[in-house]
Chain A
Amino acid sequence: MNNALYPKLAASNIAKHRKIYLPYIISSAVVCAMLYIMWAIHFDENICKLRGASYLTELINMGIIVIVIFSLIFLIYTNSFLMKQRTKELGLYNILGMEKRHICKIITFETLYSCVFGILAGIVSGIVFHKLVTLILFKIMKMDIQLGFFVSFKSILSSAAVLALIFGINLIFNIIKVYKANPLDLMNSARTGEKEPKAKIISTALGVLFLGAGYIIAVTVNDPLDALTLFFIAVLCVIAGTYCLFISGSISLLKLLKKNKSYYYNKKHFTSVSGLLYRMKQNAVGLANICILSTMVLVMVSATVSLYAGAEDALKQRYPSDISIEYNGYENQEEISKKITNAVFETSEENGFEILDFSDLKYLSFAAVLKNGDTFETDNTSYSSTFSVQTLCIVTADEYKSLSGENAVLKDNQVIVHSNGAQLGDSFNLFGKRYDIVRKADEFKDISNYSTVLADIHYIVVADESVLNDIDESQLEAYEGNASEINHQITFNLNGTNEEKIQLSETITSSVEKALEGESAHCIIESRSVNRNDFYELYGSLLFLGIVLGSLFLMVTVIIIYYKQISEGYGDRERYVIMQKVGMSDSEVKSSVRSQVLTVFFLPLVTACVHLSFAFPIISKLLMLLQLNNTKIFALGLAATAVIFAVIYTLVYSVTARTYYKIVRK
């Protein structure tokens, strides 16, 4: 036989089936481009040397693994769809006298072509977009770096290898399929009658149970630390519930509707209920996949966007002042305080900066367990669970005055309290002494960075130094080696730009260290500006990864939907013709088809949104662990992501719906 025949046939096959081949090749090209870019960043030595690159390289590595696994699953799925659409054609070749090995030759050439096209297009676009992507990456990481244009050969090899591997697997699948089938099967596989699905009560009930459990966990969780451990359980529950409900719940519901005779035998419902019943049977898994993918995209993108958007807030919360200096453990605290203060003021004056909002605060903080709502236990053995531990932060009335500007005149057993979290009653017991709460302060300026501590905090204002010292002695006794010390915290702001602040904070650090030379004890100096860079490096890389994976998942969703529509179009064409012949008007058929398509299309999106609204409480708690305390930002980020997603989704819907109608009305 003429050997040039097979490549030619293969090429014309791809051209003929471009409606289904093009999305396949395009999506493999996109995957390849993504892999190229990720690997190019990974292999880039300039980036590896950057400060904060450790976050980035780690996240990029993770991203590469996710992309590889995901594209493997996804491209295999797409290929199986392609083959299903073509079984009849291949059967015809077989009947017309082609042997199976000839058919395999054609398939091999087809795979080769799509593989080469996909890889070439992917790498070319990868190279083109690589520079742009790195620029965006540095922009969101707030790094100001100039990089040249370059081509990473290592990256080309790696991404091409992954794609070649996937196409190889697909080829093997296809060849096995051709060899296993006989020609009549190949011809007839599209025409086997579908059985009407049966309602499965048990798995529906399981679905409701799983989903309910997941939702309840998500809504009722209060503690951010609990949220971390429960989140995965909730996610697993919701995933299991979604699959159960899509697969059997939808069918049980439709069956129930069908049993209701006066509802079912109604012009509006008759064809759509029975049509949906079959559609759900064929598509339930696909729809559940779409639903879960959409939820994942929305959660990932909105979480990373919100973290990034809330970075400045989180930074301010974590570092309320430009610079904070904390120290303890010195014998001669007053003297040390003076030394540090002098060093700070001198250094900033020398450099021409102004010190603003200077404060020097003395406080005692230690942990205790609250029992019966009014007694703090300091017994070591009562640390049964970390979650019941509360932090007490004690200052004197004088310090409170300098903090809040409010005068507080208190007796020895009187206190002012401000609690984050669990609230106290009218009084409490501490080390055997009863304190009456004369007032509860509405707000309290953050001391140290306790606001980021996850346990409940009670700020307690006591009458004077002697009360403070009494408490200090008692806690030294109770905790012995683990006891806390009275802390000093100096905080102040600076004028100037971010860069200047970074420089100055370095100078101040060295001059403070010099001033304290020879003293034993420790002192921590933190600068907000220095940490700002760290924040943006972490949150920037997270955002980058979120967007990259989000767009990958979005593409996968879109392609799955597209293929679903097409395969349904071919199935619906016959039904459409028959219904018209039996006396359904064109517009009736159209509206019936449209309502089914709409349901199938938007059911996953609506379910994803329901999932998200239930997930909102637990995710916002999780984000608190990452120092995003501003729920509003997350709500906004989530809403914005959902809207953008819905717009893209609807766009895809209208494009595929057009293709769909073209097929149906042919």
Chain B
Amino acid sequence: MSLLEVNGVQKIYTTRLGGNKVQALSDVTFSVEPGEYVAIMGESGSGKTTLLNIIASLDTPTRGEIKIAGQSLGSIKEKDLAKYRRNNLGFVFQDFNLLDTFSVKDNIFLPLVLSGIKHEEMEERLTPIACRLGIDKILNKFPYEISGGQKQRTAAARALITNPQLILADEPTGALDSKAADELLGLFTEINDFGQTILMVTHSVKAACTAKRVLFIKDGRVFHQLYKGNLSDDDMFRRISDTLTVITTGGESNE
């Protein structure tokens, strides 16, 4: 059974004063198997962030259905949504979204505290994750004292500590320099190798290369997909670039 099923999702935004309707997603269907590492690519405005928000249950689709581990998100009550999100999904954002008022450690603990987990258990869970992500030395520092890469690793630790079924990453390398970005992508590969399912939205071809599968979205629907298979990073890079060129030029340049 698929871990994530997206069935015919449509999203139409109505502007606040009621006049114009904007279609962000027209008909998106795909599924993600457990242990997969999927990247979603597309131009600005293609609807990829909207899609991620809908999968994250931060937004509701106009039509269609999302199922995670067989459970439809639409069937979860509004007041239970936050709890569901906390327990089943982990988030990594472009701008880290760390709270300045918390130390690195407390930022990582935040979802656990909200779930009412005992302090001893939190510490137990934290140690291996912090070591793996290389942030065990900075646990007592504050977000404004650490580098961008460290911030993003903190955010990743916060996503991982709840043992989520699915990690959703929104442009995770967007605010990082190339070295920090490489490190983070290496980490993603590593945790994916441990069996963690990851769904990442990205602009960066380099980031997408690390994924096992890349979905391309154009005009609100899945336009194409690429499997990495046994391809090297370089070959994958070239194929992604080609696909992007096709999308940008409307499919006329190559064939």
Contact = CB atoms under 8 A, between A and B. Distances in A.
A584 B122 CA distance: 18
Given A267-B114, A274-B106, A585 B101 contact: no
Interface stretch (B23-31, B81-89, B236-244): B81-89
Interface in B141-156: 142-145
A354 interface: no
B86 A581 contact: no
Contacts of A578: 97-99
Contact of B119 (A195, A262, A586): A262
B111 A265 contact: no
B206 interface: no
Interface in B98-122: 98-103, 106, 109-111, 113-114, 116, 119, 122
Contacts of B99: 274, 575, 578-579
Given A261-B119, A265-B113, A583-B83, A193 B58 contact: no
A575 B91 CA distance: 16
Contacts of B143: 193
B157 to A, nearest CB: 12
Nearest to A587: B79
A195 B144 CA distance: 8
Interface in A571-601: 575, 577-588
Interface secondary structure of A, over-half rule: helix
Listed residue (A267, A580, A585) with the most chain B CB atoms within 10 angstroms of its CB = A585
A194 interface: yes
A215 B114 CA distance: 41
A582 B113 contact: no
A588 B58 contact: no
Interface secondary structure of B, over-half rule: helix
Given A267-B114, A587-B79, A582 B109 contact: no
A262 B109 CA distance: 13
Interface string A171-211: 00000000000000000000011111000000000000000
A588 B79 CA distance: 10
B158 A274 contact: no
Contacts of A584: 82, 114
B98 to A, nearest CB: 8
Interface residues of A, number: 28
Contact of A581 (B81, B97, B100, B101): B97
B188 interface: no
Nearest to B143: A193
Contacts of B216: none
A266 B101 contact: no
Interface string B68-92: 0000000000010111011001010
B122 A582 contact: no
Contacts of A262: 119
Given A194-B100, A265-B122, A277-B101, A582 B91 contact: yes
Contacts of B98: 578
B37 interface: no
A43 interface: no
Interface in A268-284: 270, 274-275, 277-278
Interface in B17-52: none
Nearest to A192: B144
A598 B119 CA distance: 28
Given A261-B119, A265-B119, A274-B106, A585 B82 contact: yes
A196 B99 CA distance: 12
Which interface class (under 10, 10 to 19, 20 to 34, 35 or more) fits B?
20 to 34
A582 B101 contact: no
A588 B110 CA distance: 13
A588 B101 contact: no
Contacts of B83: 583, 585
A583 B86 contact: yes
A605 to B, nearest CB: 25
B119 A582 contact: no
Given A261-B119, A265-B109, A265-B119, A585 B79 contact: yes
B162 to A, nearest CB: 8
Contact of B101 (A261, A278, A577, A583): A278
Contact of A193 (B106, B122, B142): B142
A274 B102 contact: yes
Contacts of B102: 274
Interface string B111-140: 101101001001000000000000000000
Nearest to B122: A265
A583 B122 contact: no
Contacts of B58: 581
A622 to B, nearest CB: 45
A274 B101 contact: yes
B82 A267 contact: no
Contacts of A265: 109, 113, 119, 122
A193 B79 CA distance: 33
A585 B89 CA distance: 14
Contacts of B93: 581
Contacts of A195: 142, 144
B114 A583 contact: yes
Interface string A242-281: 0000000000000000000110011100100011011000
A582 B89 CA distance: 9
A580 B98 CA distance: 12
B100 A582 contact: no
A196 B110 CA distance: 18
Given A583-B86, A584-B114, A585-B82, A193 B97 contact: no
Given A583-B85, A583-B86, A270 B110 contact: yes
Given A583-B82, A584-B114, 4 more contacts: A266-B113, A575-B101, A581-B91, A583-B89
Interface of B: 58, 79, 81-83, 85-86, 89, 91, 93, 97-103, 106, 109-111, 113-114, 116, 119, 122, 142-145, 158
Closest 5 CB pairs between A and B? A193-B144, A583-B86, A585-B82, A265-B119, A578-B97
11 contacts: A195-B142, A265-B122, A267-B114, A274-B106, A575-B99, A578-B97, A582-B111, A582-B114, A584-B114, A585-B81, A588-B114
